């Protein structure tokens, strides 16, 4: 049984709110960079960057990070996990990096993303922005900016849809 938790408008509002929160927390955006986690986090990061430009007139650099090679479950599945593009065309040393992901769940993806980021340089600070936090953390990881908190059962499947890939912006949950 599938339910839509957020529709396109809700997503847009959430992204706008997160953009405001970032600007407030980080007092402007001089040392800010966004790194979206492939393969939907990067599209959200683009939306976020657009909002930051609209609100404050700043151009925040956006990169995309694929964390497949840093996962802790390589070799545990029948097929090796699929890899997407990584492109971080700027130096992250000394910057405030806001990692952007669609859904925060066990926290393992974020752990991997932080390890990957460290191999690119030494950021001043790492913050985490997610569209949905669905609980069930298995590692001590928390988000700094959350679009919506959604309580779920562990077996449920929460997915973020984006227009570029899925035809619409939305957040859906499939209850098992």
Partner 1 sequence: MNKHLLSMHDLTAEDVVRILDTAESFREVGTRVIKKVPALRGRTVVNFFMENSTRTRISFELAAKRLSADVINFSASGSSVSKGESLKDTALTLQAMGADAVVIRHSSSGSPHQLTKWISGSVLNAGDGTHEHPTQALLDLYTMREKLGRLEGLRVAILGDVLHSRVARSLSFGLVKMGAEVTLVGPPTLIPPDVSAWGVQESYDIESVLPKLDVCYVLRVQKERQRLEYFPSVREYSRLFGLTTDRVGLLPEGALIMHPGPMNRGVEIDSDVADLPHSMIEEQVTNGIAVRMSLLYLLLGSGGEQPSDD
List residues binding partner 1 (CB under 8 A): 66, 68-71, 73-81, 83-87, 105-106, 108-109, 115-116, 119-121
Residue 109 CB, nearest distance to partner 1 (Å)? 7
Residue 106 CB, nearest distance to partner 1 (Å)? 6
User: Could you give the CA distance from residue 38 to residue 20 in angstroms, rounded to a whole number?
Assistant: 23
β-sheet bridge partners, residue 6: 171
| 3-class DSSP assignment, residue 10 | helix
Q: Which is nearer to partner 1, 96 or 109 (CB)?
A: 109
Q: Which is nearer to partner 1, 136 or 148 (CB)?
A: 136
Q: Which is nearer to partner 1, 66 or 133 (CB)?
A: 66
Residue 119 CB, nearest distance to partner 1 (Å)? 4
Q: Which is nearer to partner 1, 8 or 74 (CB)?
A: 74
User: Could you give the CA distance from residue 54 to residue 98 in angstroms, rounded to a whole number?
Assistant: 18
Residue 80 CB, nearest distance to partner 1 (Å)? 3
Q: Are 96 and 26 in contact (CB under 8 A)?
A: yes
Reduced 3-state DSSP string for 104-160? ECCCHHHHHHHHHHHCCCCCCEEEEEEEEECCCCCCCCCCCEEEEECCCCCCCEEEE
User: Could you give the CA distance from residue 154 to residue 119 in angstroms, rounded to a whole number?
Assistant: 32
Q: Which is nearer to partner 1, 13 or 154 (CB)?
A: 154
H or E element, residue 4: strand 2-6
Reading phi first (left if > 0) and then psi (alpha if -120 to 50, else beta), residue 83 is in beta
Residue 79 CB, nearest distance to partner 1 (Å)? 5
């Amino acid at each position: 049984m599938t339910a839509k938790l957020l529709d396109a408008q809700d997503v847009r509002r959430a992204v706008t709110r997160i953009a405001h929160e970032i600007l407030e927390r980080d007092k402007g955006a001089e040392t800010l960079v966004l790194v979206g986690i492939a393969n939907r986090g990067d599209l959200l990061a683009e939306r976020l960057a657009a909002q930051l430009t609209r609100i404050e007139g700043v151009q925040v650099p956006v990169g995309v990070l694929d964390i497949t090679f840093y996962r802790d479950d390589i070799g545990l599945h029948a097929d090796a996990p699929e890899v997407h593009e990584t492109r971080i065309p700027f130096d992250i040393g000394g910057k405030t990096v806001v990692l952007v992901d669609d859904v925060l769940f066990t926290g393992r993806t974020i752990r991997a993303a932080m390890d990957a980021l460290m191999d690119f340089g030494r950021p001043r600070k790492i913050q985490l922005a997610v569209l949905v936090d669905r609980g069930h953390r298995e590692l001590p990881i928390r988000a700094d900016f959350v679009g919506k908190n959604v309580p779920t059962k562990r077996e449920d499947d929460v997915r973020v849809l984006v227009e570029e890939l899925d035809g619409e912006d939305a957040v859906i949950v499939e209850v098992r």
